[in-house]
């Protein structure tokens, strides 16, 4: 899957090149591969960041003490921030789908 995703992104890059550039040139293929791997790298970084930060926004995790070790003080700064931005799990799911929908429509 990773190989074909890299190739797909590289093909998109090559299709956007001017007609004067040979899409089979070695430099163009190397740049297309680099762009494909860079896109997958940033996708992985965003996923990792989301996996670490989004659980702090779910109120049930704070109440059950799942992430309570980070909130030592009752009125601590982290606890206030987490309570201010609490989103229910279904709402977080719906917002993620709305963001995905916006991203898909932006490709037009």
| Contact between 85 and 55 (Cβ < 8 Å) | no
pTM: 0.54
With 60 as the cut, is the pLDDT of residue 81 above it? yes
With 60 as the cut, is the pLDDT of residue 106 above it? yes
| Average pLDDT estimate for 30-47 | 90
Q: What is the pLDDT of residue 49?
A: 92
- Token readout for 52 is 């670490």
| Contact between 59 and 92 (Cβ < 8 Å) | no
Burial 72-84 (b: 16+ CB within 10 A, else e): eeeeeeebeebee
Give 76's DSSP letter.
-
Q: What is the pLDDT of residue 101?
A: 94
């Amino acid at each position: 899957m990773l190989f074909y995703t890299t190739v797909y992104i590289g093909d998109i890059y090559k299709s956007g090149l001017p007609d004067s550039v040979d899409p089979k040139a070695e430099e163009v293929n190397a740049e297309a591969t680099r762009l494909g791997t860079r896109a997958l790298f940033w996708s992985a970084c965003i996923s990792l960041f989301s996996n670490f930060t989004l659980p702090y926004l779910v109120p049930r995790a704070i109440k059950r003490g799942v992430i309570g070790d980070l909130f030592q003080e009752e009125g601590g700064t982290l606890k206030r921030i987490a309570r201010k931005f609490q989103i229910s799990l279904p709402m977080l799911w719906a917002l993620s789908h709305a963001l995905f929908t916006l991203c898909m429509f932006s490709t037009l």
